[in-house]
């Protein structure tokens, strides 16, 4: 196989300069073990604060799997050329939405106030992490794939199928190959590698578009003005997911040209005609240009009624079992793994 996975593990302080969820680095380790079981080499980005924690855990993965196919790259969260415009836009949105919450409190004593816990800089750095790894290419692969380090958590994947939370990252019995019910196996790596090799670019998508309408219109105008799209063709119908972005380096020039135009356009907007935004809205607009190969799903929360973090939809629970929840895309990925070559035997 010829794909390098690229990810990041950071403590991003909600009250800090760039914001975030304030989750410790160890929160992501459980999921990272599932990802390591894809069987692909991986590059993990972290900052100086998290380096020794991440290094110890990667050494543990080498011990438990018997395979050493990882590299750690230290990079501080703010080491990004667009950090200032992203930070200023974020601060403007926080100031405006905090003011709105205070206004609501005047008439609603139960108003909880404003809360935001996302690090937009890390979201926008995903593609740049991939590009820098491709330039160095430490494992000499042809394909590269960003993957969110926490993507296999148990709010998305049922615990009974391998979903994880922080409390089980040193219990190897939960993971493949010891746990045969865990869906995270090397077949995912084979399918992922095959799709990127065949198509050059690969992502997941769904139809629940929740973006700010002003942002959608800005990107729509960009597509019409600079790329010659009609108004109808520039309309977004799908939301691309930033959790998995498979790429070959031949895709970079066209992708980054559009991405940076979109990022600069949206970062220049201000409330009330603006809101927080991540990489996904720009990738969703780029989908109209590139039309990469995608696997479609219908809903995020898992359908395991007896598993942790189950969201009870009441009468809809039974119907949801026939839907494609996000965790089911991993089994779909496995179907794209190449068939094994039959062993040749002479007569």
Residue 169 confidence (pLDDT): 66
Average pLDDT over the chain, rounded to whole?
93
Q: Do residues 177 and 268 lie in contact, with contact meaning Cβ atoms separated by under 8 Å? A: no
At 312, the pLDDT band (50, 70, 90 cuts) reads very high
Assess if residue 213 is contained within a domain.
yes
Sheet of strand 239-247: strand arrangement? 70-74, 42-46, 3-8, 143-147, 239-247, 201-206, 293-296
Residue indicated by tokens 């959790």 = 243
179-217 residue pLDDT tens:
999 999 999 999 999 999 999 999 999 988 889 999 999
Q: How many domains does the chain have?
A: 1
87-120 residue pLDDT tens:
999 999 999 999 999 999 999 988 888 878 889 9
Greatest Cα pair distance, the chain, in angstroms, is 87
Q: CA–CA separation, 121 vs 271, rounded Å?
A: 19
pTM > 0.85: yes
Percent of the chain exceeding pLDDT 90 equals: 83
**Which distant-in-sequence residues (6+ apart) come within 8 Å of 95 by Cβ?**
271
At 321, the pLDDT band (50, 70, 90 cuts) reads confident
Q: CA–CA separation, 221 vs 230, rounded Å?
A: 10
At 1, the pLDDT band (50, 70, 90 cuts) reads low
The token pair that represents 144 in the structure block = 């590269």
Task: Please compute the mean of the pLDDT values over residues 208-232 and round it to a whole number.
Answer: 95
Closest CA to 207 of 238, 183, 176: 238
Lowest mean per-residue pLDDT among 161-165, 202-206, 336-340: 336-340
Task: Please compute the mean of the pLDDT values over residues 61-88 and round it to a whole number.
Answer: 96
Residue 17 confidence (pLDDT): 81
If one compares 14 and 197, the residue with the highest pLDDT of the two is: 197
Assess if residue 340 is contained within a domain.
no
Task: Please compute the mean of the pLDDT values over residues 250-270 and round it to a whole number.
Answer: 98
pLDDT at 341 over 70: no
Q: CA–CA separation, 45 vs 10, rounded Å?
A: 8
Percent of the chain exceeding pLDDT 70 equals: 96
Kindly report the backbone phi and psi dihedral angles of residue 126, in degrees, each rounded to the nearest multiple of 5, phi listed first: -55, -55
Domain that holds residue 60: 3-334
Residue 342 confidence (pLDDT): 56
Assess if residue 342 is contained within a domain.
no
Assess if residue 345 is contained within a domain.
no
From residue 7, alpha-carbon distances to 4, 55, 117, 215 in Å are 10, 14, 20, 27
pLDDT at 28 over 60: yes
At 347, the pLDDT band (50, 70, 90 cuts) reads very low
Assess if residue 276 is contained within a domain.
yes
Assess if residue 346 is contained within a domain.
no
Closest CA to 252 of 83, 141, 138, 128: 128
Task: Please compute the mean of the pLDDT values over residues 117-130 and round it to a whole number.
Answer: 95
234-247 residue pLDDT tens:
999 999 999 999 99
């Amino acid at each position: 196989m010829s794909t390098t996975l690229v990810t990041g593990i950071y403590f991003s302080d909600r009250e800090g300069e760039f914001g975030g969820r304030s989750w410790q680095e160890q929160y992501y380790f459980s999921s990272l073990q599932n990802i390591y079981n894809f069987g692909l080499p991986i590059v993990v980005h972290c900052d100086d604060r998290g380096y020794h924690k991440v290094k110890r855990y990667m050494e543990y993965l080498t011990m438990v799997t018997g395979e050493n196919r990882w590299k750690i790259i230290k990079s501080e969260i703010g080491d990004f050329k667009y950090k200032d415009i992203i930070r200023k836009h974020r601060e403007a949105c926080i100031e405006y939405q905090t003011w709105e919450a205070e206004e609501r409190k005047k008439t609603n004593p139960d108003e909880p106030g404003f809360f935001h816990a996302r690090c937009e800089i890390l979201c926008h750095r995903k593609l740049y992490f991939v590009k820098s790894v491709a330039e160095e290419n430490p494992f000499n692969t042809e394909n590269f794939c960003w993957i969110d380090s926490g993507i296999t958590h148990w709010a998305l994947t049922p615990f009974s199928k391998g979903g994880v939370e922080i409390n089980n990252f040193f219990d190897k019995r939960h993971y493949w190959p010891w746990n045969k019910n865990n869906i995270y196996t090397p077949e995912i790596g084979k399918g992922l590698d095959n799709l990127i090799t065949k198509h050059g670019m690969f992502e997941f998508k769904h139809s629940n578009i929740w973006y700010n309408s002003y942002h959608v219109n800005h990107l729509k105008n960009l597509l019409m003005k600079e790329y010659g799209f009609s108004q109808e063709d520039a309309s977004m119908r799908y939301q691309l997911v930033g959790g998995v972005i498979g790429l070959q380096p031949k895709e970079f020039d066209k992708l980054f040209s559009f991405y940076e135009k979109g990022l600069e356009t949206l970062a220049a907007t201000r409330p009330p005609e603006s809101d927080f935004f991540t990489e996904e809205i720009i990738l969703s607009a780029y989908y109209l240009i590139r039309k990469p190969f995608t696997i479609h799903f219908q809903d995020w929360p898992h359908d395991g009624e007896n598993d942790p973090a189950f969201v009870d939809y009441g009468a809809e629970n039974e119907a949801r079992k026939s839907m494609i929840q996000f965790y089911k895309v991993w089994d779909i990925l496995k179907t794209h793994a190449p068939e094994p070559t039959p062993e040749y035997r002479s007569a």
